[in-house]
Structure 1
């Protein structure tokens, strides 16, 4: 890693000793990596100004331990301009990636979904759909995204007119007619999600599913970013 340039974004930084930061980077090549940025805390250097969220970067890191040292950093494109709820949503995306992605796990899918999320938020696209797509990418990488086309009990295709119960670690199971339970979803909404179509109904279903599926990954410690933006976007 000493001579390798990594494509990166800053997920989080925190003070370290008197003059340094520990920076959590999300990189294309090495996944989530933490590094010490030495001597930049009280300086006006370019290195400090670049170590901000939502700034596309290239970085060089060194060291054999889990905590690397930042050798070089440079920008590769202008920073994403984010304000209001779009900024809060981007902070949520950063916090989610930092909390869930295991250190050192490189994922092209999640990295590009992260870039897409920042692009869409900066372009004022539908924030709710943007968040769901990124959450789906994370869940898919963790092996937790269910098959929206399969009734797992009978290994039959999901039908639009059916009502399906979601059972964690198993998948969707068709409910008998007239029976209702919590987390029962219309087949039409599930098939919409399978086609990457976000209708008003499938958006509601996706929100419930993502909340429940992400909960064990996030853990008991609440996400700070969730308190920042309006409920509609969450």
Structure 2
């Protein structure tokens, strides 16, 4: 790909770099995640600085042969997605997931488009939990970590609505032994997920599954965006 090609992108994070520049983490549709240097813009009042903000799809041109590119041109593509309150925290969570999980230089149109859709849904304010779970599924699917919710990974037995199940790394769905103290994911919730029916039980199941499935991809370092959610507040913690 020629360096002058326009790339559709979102800013994931920016931080000061030397005296006048920014180091910017980008998530592009065409080339995946990358880092660029935006030179001489920290004290500028121009368009380039104002466009280097999260939650707005822009187009950029860059150059350079090393992993750290130079940002040459920036232009607006879509209006900034207005996020505030809980939706803003959720958007920051999405950015951190992409920055922590997606490999550098690996393009994924599916994850990029799912990210765009998640921002739009968060801005609508109708349901801030659903876009989180759907985007997590998109990332896990891209990483080859999204299992089959209709069968048990260990023995291939079909999931039944009346059963109780858990989620195990490298196995997927596993049966939970029945009993008065048995806790887990109801079979009917897993079957709803498999059918794309996002019932309240299905969303709860997806949250449990995704927490476990994302652990090996995220490592031991806690997500900073989760610290934004206050335990006593009536919010949906990702």
TM-score range, shorter chain: over 0.9
The alpha carbon displacement at 1:181 in A equals 5.5
1:156 is matched with 157
What's the RMSD between the two structures over aligned residues? 1.6
Displacement of 1:174 after TM fit? 3.0
Aligned length: 233
Structure 2 match to 1:125? 126
1:113 alignment partner in structure 2: 114
Q: Which runs of 5+ in 1 are unaligned?
A: none
Q: Are 1:211 and 2:214 an aligned pair? A: no
Secondary structure of 2:82's match?
coil
Q: Which residue of 1 aligns with 2:41?
A: 40
Contact 1:85 1:230 in 2 (8 A): no
Find the residue that maps to 1:156 and give its secondary structure.
coil
Task: Give the 5 Å matches for 1:175-190.
Answer: 175-178=176-179, 184-190=184-190
Q: Would you say 1:91 and 2:96 are equivalent positions?
A: no
Paired with 1:10 and 1:28, the residues of 2 have a C-alpha distance of 12
Corresponding position of 1:169: 170
Would you identify which runs of 4 or more consecutive aligned residues in structure 1 move more than 6 Å? none
Say if 1:31 and 1:105, in contact at 8 Å, map to a contact too: yes
Quote the Cα distance in structure 1 between the aligned partners of 2:102 and 2:200: 29
Quote how far apart the aligned CAs of 1:206 are: 1.2
Q: Normalization by structure 1: what TM-score?
A: 0.94
Contact 1:165 1:181 in 2 (8 A): no
8 Å contact 1:58–1:76 — kept in the other structure? yes
Matched, 1:72 2:73: yes
Distance 2:47 2:32 in 1: 24
Question: TM-score w.r.t. structure 2 length?
Answer: 0.92
